[in-house]
A and B are shown apart, each in its own frame.
Chain A
Amino acid sequence: AQSVSQHNHHVILSEAASLELGCNYSYGGTVNLFWYVQYPGQHLQLLLKYFSGDPLVKGIKGFEAEFIKSKFSFNLRKPSVQWSDTAEYFCAVNAPYKLIFGTGTRLQVFP
């Protein structure tokens, strides 16, 4: 069955530190990949998405992700985090007739 794994459940960083959140999926066919963010008290927002083309995708707020097909991975990165990046981050995979989310990673950034 298709699944999405986010191995980092809780990440704590200081401001200006670099961030990388892991996302691996299991599905052998063509997929669309997403990262969503949920800020405290708000709804999910789309950070970035990959459908095809350049595997390095740039999103909002300085986030980027790289699709590595051979590793079934779509890791999220940001070179320098800010306190306002404190949120829950979800990786999602859109396979045929399915939209599958990972369990989420809680990011806490301290000043």
Chain B
Amino acid sequence: GAGVSQSPSNKVTEKGKDVELRCDPISGHTALYWYRQRLGQGLEFLIYFQGNSAPDKSGLPSDRFSAERTGESVSTLTIQRTQQEDSAVYLCASSHRTGGREKLFFGSGTQLSVL
């Protein structure tokens, strides 16, 4: 597709279940970011991939959160044993550099609700 695609767009799960969120970046974009936005707050950085490696995992809030990226394309964010405080919009963005400038493109997010 032409843009960053995230699936599912909406996920409702029960506390304690595992969830997997998917991001398809724009083809050729080497950089990929995961952010989340909880209700009433701004974006919170989670993890950054450059290619398949993750040089910056500093934003992952706990060891229940993990992410991987394969083939410099699709990335999955996995949350194990979900808690109610994990409820948020999870946003993926990919970028490329042109003329020394990093240009970000955003998916439309996955709304996660943990009951």
Q: Is A16 an interface residue (CB 8 A)?
A: no
Question: Main SS of chain A's interface residues?
Answer: strand
* B43:A44 contact, CB within 8 angstroms: yes
Binds B, one of A18-26, A76-84, A90-98: A90-98
* B101:A106 contact, CB within 8 angstroms: yes
Known contacts: A44-B35, A104-B103. The answer to whether A98 contacts B42 by CB under 8 A is no
Contacts of B102 in A (CB 8 A): 38, 40, 88
Interchain CB contact (< 8 A) of B37 among A43, A45, A90, A99: A99
* B43:A97 contact, CB within 8 angstroms: no
Contacts of A40 in B (CB 8 A): 102
Q: A36 vs B108: C-alpha distance in the bound complex, in angstroms?
A: 16
Chain A interface residue count, CB cutoff 8 Å, equals 20
Total contacts A-B at CB 8 Å: 47
Interchain CB contact (< 8 A) of B108 among A34, A43, A88, A100: A100
Interchain CB contact (< 8 A) of B43 among A36, A98, A106: A36
Per-residue contact bits, chain B 80-115, to A (CB 8 Å; 1 contact, 0 not): 000000000101000000000111101011010000
The chain B residues found within 8 Å of chain A, CB to CB, are 9-10, 33, 35, 37, 40, 42-43, 45, 48, 89, 91, 101-104, 106, 108-109, 111
Please give 20 more A-B residue pairs, beta carbons under 8 A apart, in addition to A40-B102, A106-B101. Answer: A34-B42, A36-B42, A36-B43, A38-B102, A43-B33, A43-B48, A44-B35, A49-B42, A88-B101, A88-B104, A90-B104, A94-B89, A97-B111, A98-B89, A99-B37, A99-B106, A99-B108, A100-B106, A101-B106, A104-B103
